[in-house]
A and B are shown apart, each in its own frame.
Chain A
Amino acid sequence: MRVPALIALVLGSFPSLGLAATDKPPLLTGESLPRLPQRLVEMALEALKAPDWLVSLASFATAAGTVVAVFLSAFALLSLIERKTLARAQNRLGPNRAGIFGILQPVADGIKMLTKEDIVPTKAEWFLHLVAPVMIVIPSILALGVIPYGREWLPVPLELGLVFFFATGTMTEVAVFIAGWASGSKFPMLGAMRAISQMISYELPLIISALSVVMLSGTLSLADIVAAQSGYHLGFIPAWNILTPWGFVAGIIFLIAANAESNRCPFDLPEGESEIVAGHMTEYSGFKYALFFMGEYLGLFAISGLGITLFLGGWQAPLPGLGFVPSWFWFFGKLAAIIFFFLWVRTTFPRVRVDQLMRFAWLCLIPIALLTLPVAALWHFTANPDGSNGVLSWLLCSAILAVPFIIITVIFNRRLAPSLRTYHYAE
């Protein structure tokens, strides 16, 4: 069902490509720098009197290529930065042998991965085994295409950007399951089962928390959602969704669900190395294995980018008067901050168990996420005519959202708090 919908969405996006190419700001400013390749290709083809469809197609391909190039380099960089950061948190140095500060480590890793033997287990379905790693990279790249990175940098300006994002995101689950199933082995199978249940469960809070933003912005277009968060309260507090009671709660739920969606610690059960070796990746080696990593990191970029778009004001500057900095700089700054947070969490947290994971999603996240919807409505209807909210509105919304937290606190202190344990001493 999803694949035809995807095709329709992709095809439906082509007419809007012309729109993206119509506005013609100056060629080389900081703001339009990321679009330079696209503009150059367009200009070259127009000078050659190429037909319009060719210009449009080439423009699209260049825009997509820019995004892929940027995020593949970011992936390479992140694979190094992650290792360095985790190492520092663990009082180690991290990779520092390949190049200065280990800067060439991603290259070395890539060479290693490419030269490794590609092992296909005898009992594996070789075709699906081959397809799965490819399938895991493609949706992440597709999802990266619809995120507005800057004021003028939106590779594919889709009207239904959010729907497209979630539709592609679900393809990852299929790929993970195929990988686990096609390996014809037990640990991958367990990993695949875990992955499918986890990702489906966490898709719900992810989407519901995004819904409240859609509700108040009144649009599914990501560019418009960013635009709806422009402006500053009291002259300096950015009007981002995260800075409202419902947005704060929805944002945290989104963060947790995004963490689970991208299979990162403490929700890395599908590849929990201490339990099921490497989950769905157990039987993969060489470049296929690298593709899984690439897919995972690109997915992480995509979902963090979506979180920034929905809750952190996208490419909007955090303070007024910072307009001279290119807007994509703010986007990538926020992206770096969120990814650093993910790394930080990874160094600290142990992994949760399958049933706890599911309970957490269905009994904590989804009810609270559902609660944010009426609260967001209440927020909207108690707003002043100029769009800002009074103290009463703040208190009311916060109080409603505090109820589940209080319930959780009470349960925690009755059942699980460390203070419930007593230890005595024998002399």
Chain B
Amino acid sequence: MESPAPTTRASSPPPAAGWSLPGIGLLKGMAVTAVNMIQSYYRKDRMTTVQYPEERAPISPNFRNFPFLVYDGDNMAGLRCTACSICEKECPPQCIYIVLDRDENGKSLKRPKVFDIDVSVCMNCGICAEVCPFDSIYMDGQYELATGDRFGGLLFNKETLARSTDYHAQLRPLEAAEVAARRKAEEEKKLAAQAAKVAKAKLEKEQKELKAKEEQEKGTGA
């Protein structure tokens, strides 16, 4: 950052007392507009607008627009969403609609059969991304969504919402890296736990076998 320029006037005194000519205020105002008129040709900070289709204002990495769903791996099969419906419940304008996928026995498959977001209702608050315990929903930065098709274009379903982890990493590198690290750690923990469990089971089995053998030996010995 450039060092901030110091200013002398910390707070304005009340308007200076004194004799003033009528019309001076008008001339002062005209001087301000004239300065702006001239400076707008060469001072960049005077002009805030950008010429939109040709150039775009930079988006900050924190910028949020509409939600998307993240999947691990290469395809939709790795969708992280477990259809727990927390986001559906917390969504302020209630624009999320989730149906849990079940097998023929009615047992939960822990994945959404339907996941719809009506982005014409969505108000970009980001609460869904905040409350999600499975790191599966995040806010997108894509803002050029104008379409003439209300339901075809603005009612997003599971397929249109799904994005790869790479997309997320590209969009918000910091957040994605943090999430990836955390998930990896959890995964490893889980794997370790599983491995430990397997090892334990194996050990138990071995011990059982040993015991059985011993008993057998005992039996034969008896």
Q: Do A and B bind each other?
A: yes
| B40 touching A91, Cβ below 8 Å | yes
Cα of A421 to Cα of B17 in the assembled complex, Å: 9
Dominant SS among interface residues on chain A = helix
| A348 touching B29, Cβ below 8 Å | yes
Contacts of B51 in A (CB 8 A): 93, 96
Cα of A408 to Cα of B21 in the assembled complex, Å: 9
From residue B54, how far is it (CB to closest CB) to chain A in Å? Answer: 11
From A347, A349, A408, A423, B14 is in contact (CB under 8 Å) with A423
Stretch at the interface among A12-20, A169-177, A409-417: A409-417
From B15, B33, B46, A418 is in contact (CB under 8 Å) with B15
Contacts of B17 in A (CB 8 A): 419
Proximity bits, A86-127, B CB within 8 Å = 1, else 0: 001111110010000000000000000000000000000000
| B20 touching A412, Cβ below 8 Å | yes
From A90, A408, A412, A423, B36 is in contact (CB under 8 Å) with A90
Answer yes or no: B49 CB below 8 A from chain A CBs: yes
Answer yes or no: A422 CB below 8 A from chain B CBs: yes
Answer yes or no: A345 CB below 8 A from chain B CBs: yes
| B48 touching A88, Cβ below 8 Å | no
Contacts of A348 in B (CB 8 A): 26, 29-30, 32-33
Answer yes or no: B148 CB below 8 A from chain A CBs: no
Within 8 A of B (CB), among A173-197: none
From B21, B30, B41, A409 is in contact (CB under 8 Å) with B21
Contacts of B29 in A (CB 8 A): 348-349
| B30 touching A421, Cβ below 8 Å | no
Proximity bits, A324-352, B CB within 8 Å = 1, else 0: 00000000000000000000110111000
Contacts of A422 in B (CB 8 A): 14
Cα of A316 to Cα of B141 in the assembled complex, Å: 63
Contacts of A413 in B (CB 8 A): 19-20
Answer yes or no: A85 CB below 8 A from chain B CBs: yes
Contacts of B37 in A (CB 8 A): 85, 88-89, 344, 347
With A89-B33, A344-B33, A419-B17: A409-B22 Cβ-Cβ less than 8 Å: yes
Answer yes or no: B25 CB below 8 A from chain A CBs: yes
Total count of chain B residues near the partner, CB < 8 A: 25
Proximity bits, A195-227, B CB within 8 Å = 1, else 0: 000000000000000000000000000000000
Cα of A409 to Cα of B21 in the assembled complex, Å: 6
Cα of A348 to Cα of B32 in the assembled complex, Å: 9
With A348-B26, A419-B15, A421-B15: A88-B20 Cβ-Cβ less than 8 Å: no
| A91 touching B46, Cβ below 8 Å | yes
Within 8 A of B (CB), among A62-97: 85, 88-93, 96
| B22 touching A412, Cβ below 8 Å | yes
| A345 touching B14, Cβ below 8 Å | no
Q: Which residues of B contact A (CB under 8 A)?
A: 14-22, 25-26, 29-30, 32-34, 36-37, 40-41, 46-49, 51
| A408 touching B15, Cβ below 8 Å | no
Cα of A419 to Cα of B25 in the assembled complex, Å: 12
| A419 touching B22, Cβ below 8 Å | no
In chain A, what residue has the closest Cβ to B14? Answer: A423
| B49 touching A349, Cβ below 8 Å | no
Cα of A350 to Cα of B51 in the assembled complex, Å: 30
With A88-B41, A348-B29, A419-B15: A93-B47 Cβ-Cβ less than 8 Å: yes
From residue B180, how far is it (CB to closest CB) to chain A in Å? Answer: 43
From B18, B26, B36, B49, A419 is in contact (CB under 8 Å) with B18
From residue A413, how far is it (CB to closest CB) to chain B in Å? Answer: 6
With A89-B37, A90-B36: A419-B48 Cβ-Cβ less than 8 Å: no
In chain A, what residue has the closest Cβ to B21? Answer: A409
From residue B33, how far is it (CB to closest CB) to chain A in Å? Answer: 5
Contacts of B21 in A (CB 8 A): 409, 412
Cα of A422 to Cα of B29 in the assembled complex, Å: 22
| A91 touching B33, Cβ below 8 Å | no
With A344-B34, A349-B26, A349-B29: A91-B18 Cβ-Cβ less than 8 Å: no
Q: Which 9 A-B pairs have the closest CB atoms?
A: A412-B22, A89-B37, A418-B15, A423-B14, A419-B17, A89-B33, A348-B29, A348-B33, A347-B33
| A88 touching B40, Cβ below 8 Å | yes
In chain A, what residue has the closest Cβ to B27? Answer: A348
Cα of A413 to Cα of B41 in the assembled complex, Å: 38
| B16 touching A419, Cβ below 8 Å | yes
In chain B, what residue has the closest Cβ to A417? Answer: B20
In chain A, what residue has the closest Cβ to B16? Answer: A419
Contacts of B34 in A (CB 8 A): 89, 344
Cα of A412 to Cα of B16 in the assembled complex, Å: 15
In chain A, what residue has the closest Cβ to B35? Answer: A89
Cα of A335 to Cα of B190 in the assembled complex, Å: 83
From B20, B25, B30, B47, A345 is in contact (CB under 8 Å) with B30
